[in-house]
């Protein structure tokens, strides 16, 4: 380390860097099995809280130091991204969902505001001298994921999850998410071994982490994890080989490029690798992407509403989808982050998101060129992990436990690319360091207050809802008093998730509190008239109590938002038949036969609705 780097290392704000890395570790590893959503909600709370603290540090820093010209573009892009996302938020049908995200997803405005602040903090405070701490925290995270992955793979998980998937769900709740996370973490761990930071004994021990993570990815049966691992390790290998021998480097680039092309073709069920790489879920994702693109085409300015893909999916899905996978199967995400932004937040937000990633790619190139030897390999490993994150974001959902890596890795690459000579000159002139620290602390405390005002009610609502659900017994219909008390207590909590209100309405309506439950459901329908689950619940209930006209109204509304649901048209036909409306029956038969004539439900309709 040269003299300038030593001076800069002494002046780096170590406490702030540890807040950033602590946020990375906590968001990746923490979950809470004692709340309704054990994975995504607590991760969102963590990034809201820590980003509020970091915002004070950022403003305190910028109050004293000038923004570097190199950073003007990314500050502008991030500011425009958040501003336009906020505009799309206020034009959304559901403000709650727009701000806090879809239930069990949490990809709303607050999540992206928090991730944006964390990225700014990363490229503001972290330089090459802070990388050893980054690798150390990643080895800690990798060790935890390795141990917990082994427990899950051997059936020794200390929590009994209600899990229909492969047992390896990691700390993110799904095998595909877990595999992608382990791939990204493993790439950083492997890259750190090439940096010369550790002695040979330590390297041998640390090498067990990426090796074990690859094994666990294989055991998770997630091909996307293996594919993005291969991509990342190929990038690291190409740079490493090229650093040793330029000719071999060019040969390796050619070889990996050919392999990459065949791999992509294989995933698309083309070529010799198709039998190994193709998975039916690729075809399903095609339907998700088509629906997202259709949403964007009809709502180009602001999209259908921030994180509201699930509310519109059935309206925009291709008719082939329900015929292949079922009329009631849905999706709450486009499984492609750029398409998700374009579909739910509009053209400007989607374009700005892409521009941010392009800027990170450009700064990555500059960062790799800037350093030599071991430092360059460290930067390359970070770039490989970031590239792996981008690859998985094209076929998967933005999961907060993974997204935090994409935004921090991007921030690291930007920070590492900056010319820090002028920064060192500014810091060496600093005479009032204690004053600046006091300012940062005061601002951070100021921002923490509204963050707590958001996080605490959200936590209370999640915990209370889980308690209410535990009390509810579907077989008990004699008005259990404790259920009513818990339900009302939960309903009166601030910032309660709308999906919880729907569940509570069902709990009460099926437990003897019929009028109370129906009032809740009808109020929810007024707040969210296109909620297809709610329309179906009300239709079924109105059918049961003989309110045929109301049931018909519910199902007609459902047909507007779910036009390719032959099961709904069949139920409508039965209702028309009970009313003696033969014209209505005939219309439903014609509708079903118009797109689902070969489906078994068409045969059932011809038998039961035939005249």
Q: Contact at 8 Å (CB) between 393 and 224?
A: no
Q: Please, are residues 428 and 65 in contact by the beta-carbon 8 Å criterion? A: no
d(CA 75, CA 70): 10
Q: CB burial class (10 A; 0-12, 13-18, 19+) of residue 482?
A: exposed
Q: Residue 60, Cα to own-chain centre: how many angstroms?
A: 30
Handedness of CA 35, 38, 41, 43 (dihedral sign): positive
Q: What is the pLDDT of residue 1?
A: 47
Kindly write down the DSSP assignment for every residue of 465-481, as one continuous string.
HHHHHHH--TT--S--H
Contacts of 77 (CB under 8 A, 6+ apart): 352, 355, 356, 359
CB 121 within 8 A of CB 411: yes
- Mean pLDDT by runs of 10 across the 611 residues of the chain is 50 80 98 96 98 94 80 96 98 97 97 98 89 94 97 94 91 96 97 81 92 96 91 90 79 76 63 67 88 98 98 97 95 97 98 98 95 90 95 94 98 90 55 64 94 97 95 84 92 97 95 93 96 96 93 97 97 95 95 95 92 56
Of the candidates 72, 127, 80, 40, the residue with the CA atom closest to the CA atom of residue 404: 40
Six-digit token pair at 335?
A: 């499984």
Identify whether the C-beta of residue 602 lies closer than 8 Å to the C-beta of residue 593: yes
What domains can be seen in the chain, in order of their start residue? 3-421+433-446 (no CATH), 457-609 (1.25.40.10)
Collapsing DSSP states into helix, strand and coil, what is residue 221?
Answer: coil
Rounded distance between C-alpha atoms, residue 360 and residue 409, angstroms:
9
Confidence at residue 383, expressed as pLDDT on a 0 to 100 scale: 95
Place of tokens 């999540």: 111
Q: Angle CA(307)–CA(312)–CA(317) in degrees, nearest 5?
A: 120
- Mapped onto helix, strand or coil, the DSSP state of residue 271 is coil
Contacts of 531 (CB under 8 A, 6+ apart): 311, 502, 524, 525
pLDDT at 10: 44
3-state secondary structure of 372: coil
């Amino acid at each position: 380390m040269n003299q300038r780097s030593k001076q800069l290392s002494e002046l780096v704000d170590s406490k702030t860097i540890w807040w950033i890395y602590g946020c990375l570790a906590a968001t990746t590893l923490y979950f809470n099995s004692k709340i309704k959503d054990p994975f995504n909600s607590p991760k969102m709370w963590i990034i809201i809280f820590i980003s509020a603290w970091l915002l004070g540090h950022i403003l305190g820093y910028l109050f004293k130091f000038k923004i570097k010209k190199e950073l003007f573009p990314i500050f502008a892009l991030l500011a425009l991204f958040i501003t336009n996302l906020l505009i799309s938020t206020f034009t959304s049908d559901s403000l709650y969902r727009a701000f806090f995200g879809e239930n069990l997803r949490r990809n709303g405005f607050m999540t992206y505001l928090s991730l944006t602040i964390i990225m700014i903090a990363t490229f503001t405070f972290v330089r090459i001298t802070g990388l050893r701490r980054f690798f150390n925290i990643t080895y800690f995270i990798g060790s935890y994921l390795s141990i917990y992955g082994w427990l899950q793979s051997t059936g020794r998980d200390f929590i009994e999850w209600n899990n229909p998937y492969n047992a390896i769900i990691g700390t993110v709740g799904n095998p595909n998410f877990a595999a992608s996370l382990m791939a990204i973490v493993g790439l950083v761990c492997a890259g750190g071994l090439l940096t010369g930071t550790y002695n040979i004994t330590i390297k041998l021990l640390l090498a067990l982490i990426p090796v074990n993570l690859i094994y666990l990815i294989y055991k998770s049966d997630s091909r996307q994890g293996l594919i993005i691992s291969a991509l990342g390790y190929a990038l690291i290998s190409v740079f490493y080989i090229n650093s040793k021998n330029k000719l071999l480097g060019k040969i390796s680039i050619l070889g990996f490029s050919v392999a990459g092309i065949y791999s992509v073709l294989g995933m698309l069920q083309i070529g010799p690798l198709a039998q190994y790489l193709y998975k039916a879920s690729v075809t399903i994702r095609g339907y998700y992407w088509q629906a997202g693109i259709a949403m964007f085409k009809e709502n180009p300015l602001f999209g259908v509403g921030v994180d509201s893909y699930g509310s519109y999916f059935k309206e925009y899905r291709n008719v082939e989808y329900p015929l292949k996978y079922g009329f009631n199967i849905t999706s709450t995400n486009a499984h492609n982050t750029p398409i998700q932004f374009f579909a739910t937040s509009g053209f400007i937000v989607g374009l700005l998101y892409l521009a941010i990633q392009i800027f990170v790619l450009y700064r990555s190139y500059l960062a790799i060129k800037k350093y030599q030897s071991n430092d360059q390999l460290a930067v390359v490993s970070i770039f490989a992990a970031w590239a792996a994150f981008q690859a998985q974001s094209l076929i998967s959902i933005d999961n907060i436990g993974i997204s935090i890596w994409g935004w921090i890795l991007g921030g690291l690459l930007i920070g590492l690319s900056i010319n820090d000579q002028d920064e060192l000159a500014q810091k060496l002139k600093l005479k009032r360091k204690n004053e600046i620290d006091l300012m940062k602390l005061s601002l951070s405390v100021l921002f923490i207050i509204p963050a707590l005002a958001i996080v605490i009610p959200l936590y209370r609502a999640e915990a209370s809802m889980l308690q209410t659900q535990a009390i509810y017994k579907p077989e008990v219909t004699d008005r259990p008093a404790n259920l009513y008390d818990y339900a009302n207590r939960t309903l009166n909590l601030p910032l309660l998730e709308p999906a919880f209100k729907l569940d509570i309405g069902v709990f009460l309506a099926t437990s003897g509190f019929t009028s109370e439950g129906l009032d809740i459901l009808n109020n929810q329908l007024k707040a969210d008239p296109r909620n297809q689950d709610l329309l179906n619940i009300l239709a079924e209930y109105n059918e049961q109590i003989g309110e045929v006209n109301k049931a018909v109204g519910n199902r007609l509304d459902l047909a507007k938002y779910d036009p390719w649901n032959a099961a709904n048209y069949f139920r409508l036909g039965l209702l028309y038949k009970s009313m003696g409306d033969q014209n209505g029956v005939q219309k439903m038969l014609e509708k079903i036969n118009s797109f689902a004539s070969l489906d078994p439900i068409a045969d059932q309709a011809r038998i039961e609705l035939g005249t």
